């Protein structure tokens, strides 16, 4: 039977059992099989036939599994295309494979090279028209038919595609099913990229035996502590991982067995397993089984196995062959060697791949006739791995016979990296070597520059990151005047000595901080590694990501504020200037006495000045719906919510108008706040439940009262023990902003996870109280630094952006929206290279494009823009984990030449930004909180720019008990009150691409006008990115 036939058989045996639980959906075997059948018929209708190759450009999840099954059902082979790979790498794989079709999702399709293949969006295909489309296709395929094509690193600079049949995968499955059979109630982890051959067993091995998969996304897997918690919550019983990842988990949780009592079978493969690491695991999880497997993409993943004993030997064997596999240790003449001698391992049997896709010469060189067989059709695969046979009969790995190495489980040929480096105009010659122990190898690039090497290594590295997967980008760069040569003129690799990076210029305490900050930067900026001389903003950082860095630094005991990071953006310089004082000493949130007046912040004052006489109290409310995985427990959610109430004072805030017309705010005691409600919807269908959530949400928002509170509400809609519930979270904008919601949902997720698993609720350290920040912000209005900016703000004048109907009064009820997008490839190009090419960050490029669009269409030489900032870096106080309304705005006069080239327009905008005193932080307190009112009642500019940076709310829900869903929340229509904001451009990176949302007021603007500006802006951004994509940048 083929892989999909094995699955179809199992789906018929256990139709109602959960097959996949993933961030995108939870589906049963019957649902998964039905969906895959519908998609398979759609693929067949588009021309996919047996023997075809179909790309799968998908993130891990239920949709990914559905797509793989559908491709197999139609008789095709799937080609994994990792959305995390650089677009150039994806383009190369598509071109080399000749793949005519790619299955993806609508949100990801912009990351595919244009015109490279026909794109089929799994979430945009026509709906099924009847039960017949949901039946199995019944296509008869031989087990030698190709099942998948996985690309590995190649020595010529072009990756090689391994074509693997169903037979090899089935053989590997059957061995595992017999040797380590699944028990009732098991759950298997799916956390490996499709591009790694271990994913084949990880996905289909459990499913074809009726065992559910729990899918973990990449962000979760990269965070060891969060991943351990998530594994425990899902009660995972089996996992496959590389030794490097196992070490990370042991470092994060030395008592791994206690933390993960259900995880009984651990499988490591892809790298050498050091004896020391195996011993650590055995001591940490004595009741669990650890398997050490060996194999490669060419032999269906795994062909030898060894179960690690309680007493770990000095060399952990790679073991014995699995059934229907033959092992041969042969010398260069293909003769067997004596036991104990080291020679190359050759593999035969059912596990062998069919060869390399479209590469007959490489196939013939590595898949050779079996010299010991009279059957001319029997082949052996030359692995390139050196082994020796131990007295026990097991095999011990001894290294490679060629240049290939393993980096975090991925097979890498340094010659492919060298080929890409040699093509760079700044590189005259190069060599790439490895350094470090086998389970922690890193790549080191030695290179000879064509010109001054100062600063060039970072530029070359970023160029390489745009062409190769992250694990193939060297982490250390060594510039040489010439490469060392042997007497006969060949490269002397033995003479390439990796230098030890000295830290003599840094204080002793900086080394630990350097390591911690490097990890934090890499995680927040989503880069593989960070070098000591890297600049935070050059790597794509911005002020919002700086807040995330500061918050995570605080969790590691490092006292870091956004202002310090902005002043010292180079990693080793930052580590050197940071104090040894632990962050907890700076982060003592000063207690706020219940009932004590808290000064209004500038934004709160702006709100009451603008809407205090008009707006109903149920407007300006942020509402979000979360899905809660079953079984959901109301008392646990309530406990988590009350922990947040105790912790964050602004969740208890109240507002009232004084007799003189001014407004005051204070906070109530935690015991006086009861924000939690439970609503029983167990008897309702899903459609009825949605209607009830919307209806109840409307009513509860209508009843929000600024004076009586609470202005933070959580409503749990209980759908019973077997169905996902819903949680409606409401916060008034007066008590929170976008960053506050990130903190709120991250802590709600963590508190719920801890409470549900019976642990004490322990949340990250708190930061400064909102009350203290508000007091300091009010006092800042009278500071010399703020007062010195009065002249600038008084002269900050320019005509507003022109309107279609300038005589009318705009009302909030007339707000409308148009949306534009930039694909992921273009977005990444601007994020990674705009700083080098234009000296600008993403928001500065956007702002320049906005100013140019307005200038070109209006003919005005200058325009006034309201610049929205997150405000948390306005003071030298850490409020990265504090909830409240911190965001502010300041007016910015932009005067540019509408017909100037991009680099000049961007330079003009940057110069005008640099001229703003104190980065704009002084305007809001002068305008709204200074009793002297030196700026009078200056109106807010009608054109607003708000850059939200990168990140989605779902990214904060790391434990995956809670998931954001797009369902009606019962929000009220805005009130019919005047608004000073005629048009607002919201820009944010979502799903990898840039989303441009332009909210405009239809009372004064036509849709065609706004779309014209949006089209101009998108065209501008594409024009800025185009030369960067081919490596051009100005000097």
At 130 the pLDDT is: 63
Helix H or strand E segment including 266: strand 265-268
pLDDT band at 533 (very low <50, low <70, confident <90, very high): confident
pLDDT band at 31 (very low <50, low <70, confident <90, very high): very high
The verdict on 5 and 114 lying in the same domain is yes
Tokens of 294: 């060996």
Cα gap 809→86, rounded to integer Å: 48
At 439 the pLDDT is: 61
Higher-confidence position of 886 and 830: 886
Q: Quick check: bond before 193 cis, omega within 30?
A: no
Compute CA distances 537 → 116, 521, 526, 543, 834, whole Å: 33, 11, 13, 9, 10
Cα gap 171→176, rounded to integer Å: 9
Structurally, how many domains does the chain consist of? 5
pLDDT band at 816 (very low <50, low <70, confident <90, very high): very high
Query: Residue 881 in contact with residue 765, Cβ under 8 Å?
Result: yes
Q: What is the CATH number of the domain that holds 440?
A: 3.30.300.30
Q: What is the CATH number of the domain that holds 1010?
A: 3.30.559.30
The verdict on 575 and 613 lying in the same domain is no
What is the DSSP track for 388-430?
A: EE-TTS-EEEEEESSS-EEETTEEE-HHHHHHHHHTSTTEEEE
**Cβ atoms within 10 Å of 375's Cβ, excluding its own:** 8
C-alpha angle 156-157-159 in degrees, rounded to nearest 5: 95
Phi, psi (deg, nearest 5) at residue 861: -85, -15
Specify if 260 maps to a domain.
no
Share of the chain above pLDDT 70, in %: 91
Query: What's the alpha-carbon Rg for the chain, to the nearest Å?
Result: 30
At 591 the pLDDT is: 55
At 412 the pLDDT is: 84
The verdict on 36 and 131 lying in the same domain is yes
Helices vs strands, H then E, count in the chain = 31, 39
Of the three residues 554, 586, 618, the one that is the final residue of a domain is 586
The verdict on 532 and 427 lying in the same domain is no
Q: Name the most confidently modeled range: 172-186, 387-401, 584-598, 939-953.
A: 172-186
Q: In this predicted structure, which of 125-129, 134-138, 724-728 has the lowest mean pLDDT?
A: 125-129
Specify if 864 maps to a domain.
yes
Cα gap 666→595, rounded to integer Å: 5
**Burial (CB count <10 Å: 0-12, 13-18, 19+), residue 873:** buried
Cα gap 868→630, rounded to integer Å: 40
At 508 the pLDDT is: 39
pLDDT at 111 over 90: no
Of the three residues 773, 798, 833, the one that is the final residue of a domain is 773
The verdict on 75 and 99 lying in the same domain is yes
Which one-letter DSSP state was computed for residue 83? T
Specify if 621 maps to a domain.
yes
pLDDT at 959 over 80: no
Tokens of 677: 């409600």
pLDDT band at 488 (very low <50, low <70, confident <90, very high): low
Which one-letter DSSP state was computed for residue 978? B
Query: Residue 72 in contact with residue 147, Cβ under 8 Å?
Result: yes
At 545 the pLDDT is: 78
Closest CA to 514 of 764, 220, 832, 522: 522
Specify if 73 maps to a domain.
yes
Q: What is the largest CA-CA distance in the chain?
A: 103
Cα gap 186→224, rounded to integer Å: 22
Q: What is the CATH number of the domain that holds 619?
A: 3.30.559.10
Specify if 793 maps to a domain.
no
Q: What is the pLDDT of residues 765-776, one digit of tens each?
A: 888 899 999 999
The arithmetic mean of pLDDT across residues 912-920, rounded, is 88
How far is Cα of residue 626 from the mean position of the Cα atoms in its chain? 20
Cα gap 360→962, rounded to integer Å: 50
Specify if 973 maps to a domain.
no
Cα gap 127→107, rounded to integer Å: 19
Tokens of 257: 């067995």
In the sheet where 983-990 sits, what is the strand order? Answer: 815-822, 993-1001, 983-990, 943-950, 862-869, 888-895
pLDDT at 464 over 90: no
Higher-confidence position of 598 and 271: 598
The verdict on 521 and 557 lying in the same domain is yes
Specify if 456 maps to a domain.
yes
The verdict on 627 and 767 lying in the same domain is yes
Share of the chain above pLDDT 90, in %: 45
pLDDT band at 119 (very low <50, low <70, confident <90, very high): very high
Closest CA to 615 of 229, 220, 146, 974: 974
The arithmetic mean of pLDDT across residues 456-480, rounded, is 78
Q: What is the pLDDT of residues 493-509, one digit of tens each?
A: 788 887 754 433 434 34
The arithmetic mean of pLDDT across residues 453-477, rounded, is 74
At 20 the pLDDT is: 96
At 503 the pLDDT is: 36
At 506 the pLDDT is: 39
Question: Is 0.85 surpassed by the pTM of this model?
Answer: no
The verdict on 667 and 740 lying in the same domain is yes
At 940 the pLDDT is: 85
Is the Cα dihedral 618, 624, 625, 630 positive or negative? negative
At 145 the pLDDT is: 97
Specify if 756 maps to a domain.
yes
pLDDT at 372 over 60: yes
Cα gap 1033→1035, rounded to integer Å: 6
pLDDT band at 550 (very low <50, low <70, confident <90, very high): confident
Tokens 């892989």 -> residue: 3
pLDDT at 116 over 80: no
At 13 the pLDDT is: 96
The arithmetic mean of pLDDT across residues 353-382, rounded, is 93
DSSP-based three-state secondary structure for 520 = helix
Cα gap 32→42, rounded to integer Å: 15
The verdict on 551 and 423 lying in the same domain is no
At 398 the pLDDT is: 85
Cα gap 993→109, rounded to integer Å: 10
C-alpha angle 208-213-216 in degrees, rounded to nearest 5: 145
The verdict on 606 and 752 lying in the same domain is yes
Helix H or strand E segment including 605: helix 602-611
Higher-confidence position of 950 and 668: 668
pLDDT band at 1032 (very low <50, low <70, confident <90, very high): very low
Query: Residue 905 in contact with residue 896, Cβ under 8 Å?
Result: yes
Pairing of strands 815-822, 725-732: unpaired
Cα gap 291→551, rounded to integer Å: 38
Cα gap 953→104, rounded to integer Å: 22
pLDDT at 514 over 90: no
Q: What is the pLDDT of residues 229-255, one digit of tens each?
A: 899 999 999 999 988 889 889 988 889
At 509 the pLDDT is: 42
The verdict on 836 and 722 lying in the same domain is no
The helix-helix angle for 902-914 and 1007-1029 (nearest 10°) equals 110
At 1027 the pLDDT is: 66
pLDDT, mean over the chain: 86
pLDDT at 962 over 70: yes
At 500 the pLDDT is: 59
Cα gap 446→443, rounded to integer Å: 10
Of the three residues 750, 773, 796, the one that is the final residue of a domain is 773
pLDDT band at 589 (very low <50, low <70, confident <90, very high): very low
Instruction: Give the residue numbers spanning the domain of 426.
Output: 413-495
Closest CA to 346 of 306, 300, 305, 379: 379
pLDDT at 864 over 60: yes
User: With helix as H, strand as E and coil as C, how does 522-563 read?
Assistant: HHHHCCCCCCCCCECCCCCCCHHHHHHHHHHHHHCCECCCHH
pLDDT band at 329 (very low <50, low <70, confident <90, very high): very high
Higher-confidence position of 641 and 505: 641
Higher-confidence position of 961 and 571: 571
The verdict on 758 and 834 lying in the same domain is no
């Amino acid at each position: 039977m083929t892989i999909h036939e094995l699955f179809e058989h199992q789906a018929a045996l256990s139709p109602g059992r959960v097959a996949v639980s993933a961030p995108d959906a939870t589906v049963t075997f019957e649902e998964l099989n039905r969906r895959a059948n519908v998609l398979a018929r759609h693929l067949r209708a588009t021309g996919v036939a047996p023997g075809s190759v179909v790309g799968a450009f998908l993130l891990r999840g239920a949709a990914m599994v559905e797509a793989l099954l559908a491709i197999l059902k139609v008789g095709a082979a799937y080609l994994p295309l990792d959305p995390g790979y650089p677009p150039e790498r994806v383009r190369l794989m598509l071109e080399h494979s000749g793949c005519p079709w790619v299955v993806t999702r609508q949100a990801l399709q912009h990351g595919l090279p244009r015109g490279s293949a026909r794109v089929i969006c799994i979430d945009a295909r026509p709906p099924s028209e009847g039960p017949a489309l949901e039946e199995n296709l019944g296509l008869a395929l031989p087990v030698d038919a190709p099942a998948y094509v996985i690309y590995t690193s190649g020595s010529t600079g072009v990756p090689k595609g391994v074509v693997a049949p169903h037979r090899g995968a089935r053989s590997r499955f059957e061995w595992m099913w017999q040797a380590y059979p699944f028990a009732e109630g098991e759950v298997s982890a799916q956390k490996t990229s499709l591009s790694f051959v271990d994913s084949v067993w990880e996905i289909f091995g459990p499913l074809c035996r009726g065992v559910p998969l729990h899918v973990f996304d990449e962000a979760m897997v990269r965070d060891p502590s969060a991943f351990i918690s998530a594994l425990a919550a899902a009660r995972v019983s089996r996992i496959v991982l590389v030794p490097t990842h196992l070490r990370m988990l042991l470092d994060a949780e030395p008592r791994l067995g206690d933390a993960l009592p259900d995880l009984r079978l651990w499988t490591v493969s892809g790298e050498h397993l050091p004896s020391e690491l195996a011993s650590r695991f055995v001591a940490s999880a004595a009741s669990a089984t650890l398997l050490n497997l060996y194999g490669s993409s060419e032999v269906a993943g795994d062909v030898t196995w060894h179960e690690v004993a309680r007493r770990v030997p000095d060399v952990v064997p790679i073991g014995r062959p699995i059934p229907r596999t033959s092992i041969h240790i042969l010398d260069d003449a293909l003769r067997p060697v004596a036991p104990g001698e080291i020679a190359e391992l050759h593999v035969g049997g059912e596990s062998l791949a069919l060869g390399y896709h479209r590469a007959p010469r490489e196939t013939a060189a590595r898949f050779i006739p079996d010299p010991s067989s009279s059957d001319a059709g029997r082949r052996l695969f030359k692995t390139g791995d050196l082994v020796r046979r131990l007295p026990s009969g097991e095999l011990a790995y001894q290294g490679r016979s060629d240049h290939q190495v393993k980096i975090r489980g991925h097979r890498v040929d340094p010659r492919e990296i060298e080929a890409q480096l040699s093509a760079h105009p700044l590189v005259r010659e190069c060599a790439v070597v490895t350094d470090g122990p086998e389970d922690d190898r890193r790549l080191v690039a030695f290179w000879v520059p064509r010109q001054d090497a100062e600063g060039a290594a970072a530029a070359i590295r970023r160029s390489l990151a745009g062409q190769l997967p992250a694990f193939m980008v060297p982490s250390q760069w060594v510039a040489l005047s010439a490469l060392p040569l042997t007497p006969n003129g060949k490269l002397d690799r033995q003479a390439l000595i990796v230098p030890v990076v000295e830290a003599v210029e840094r204080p002793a305490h900086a080394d630990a901080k350097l390591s911690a900050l490097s990890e934090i930067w890499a995680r927040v900026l989503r880069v593989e590694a960070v070098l000591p001389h890297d600049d935070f903003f050059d790597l794509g950082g911005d002020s919002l990501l700086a807040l995330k860095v500061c918050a995570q630094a605080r969790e590691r005991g490092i006292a870091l504020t956004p202002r310090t990071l902005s002043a010292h953006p180079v990693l080793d310089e930052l580590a050197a200037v940071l104090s040894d004082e632990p962050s907890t000493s700076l982060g003592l949130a000063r207690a706020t006495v219940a009932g004590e007046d808290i000064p209004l912040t500038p934004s709160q004052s702006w709100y009451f000045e603008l809407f205090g006489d008009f707006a109903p109290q149920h407007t300006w409310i942020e509402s979000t719906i979360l899905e809660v995985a079953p079984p959901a427990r109301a008392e646990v959610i309530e406990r988590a919510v009350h922990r947040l109430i105790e912790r964050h004072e602004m969740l208890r805030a109240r507002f009232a108008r004084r007799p003189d017309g001014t407004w005051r705010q204070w906070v109530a005691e935690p015991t006086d706040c009861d924000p939690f409600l439970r609503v029983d919807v167990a008897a309702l269908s899903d459609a009825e439940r949605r209607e009830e959530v919307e209806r109840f949400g409307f009513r509860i928002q209508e009843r929000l009262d600024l004076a009586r509170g609470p202005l933070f509400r959580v409503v749990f809609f209980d759908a019973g023990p077997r169905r996902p519930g819903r949680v409606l979270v409401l916060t008034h904008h007066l008590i929170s902003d976008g960053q506050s919601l990130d903190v709120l949902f991250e802590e709600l997720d963590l508190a719920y996870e801890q409470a549900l698993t019976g642990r004490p609720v322990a949340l990250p350290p708190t930061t400064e109280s909102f009350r203290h920040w508000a007091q300091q912000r009010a006092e800042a209005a009278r500071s010399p630094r703020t007062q010195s900016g009065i002249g600038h703000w008084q002269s900050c004048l320019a005509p507003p952006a022109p309107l279609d109907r300038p005589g009318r009064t705009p009302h909030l009820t007339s707000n409308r929206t148009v949306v534009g997008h930039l694909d992921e490839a273009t977005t990444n190009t601007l994020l990674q290279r705009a700083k080098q090419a234009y000296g600008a960050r993403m928001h500065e490029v956007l702002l320049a494009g906005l100013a140019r669009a307005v200038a070109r269409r209006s003919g005005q030489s200058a325009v006034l823009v309201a610049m929205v900032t997150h405000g948390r870096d306005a003071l030298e106080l850490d409020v990265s984990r504090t909830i409240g309304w911190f965001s502010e705005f300041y007016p910015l006069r932009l005067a540019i030449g509408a017909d100037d080239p991009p680099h000049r327009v961007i330079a003009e905008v940057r110069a005008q930004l640099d001229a703003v005193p104190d980065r704009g932080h002084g305007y809001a307190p002068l305008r709204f909180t200074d009793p002297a009112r030196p700026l009078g009642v200056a109106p807010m500019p009608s054109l607003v720019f708000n850059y939200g940076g990168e990140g989605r709310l779902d990214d904060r829900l790391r434990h995956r008990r809670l998931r954001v869903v797009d369902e009606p929340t019962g929000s009220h229509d805005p009130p019919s009150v005047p608004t000073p904001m005629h048009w607002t451009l919201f820009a944010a990176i979502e799903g990898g691409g840039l989303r441009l949302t332009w909210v405009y007021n239809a009372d004064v603007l036509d849709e065609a006008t706004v779309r014209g500006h949006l089209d101009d802006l998108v065209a501008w951004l594409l024009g800025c990115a185009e030369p960067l994509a081919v490596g051009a940048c100005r000097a």
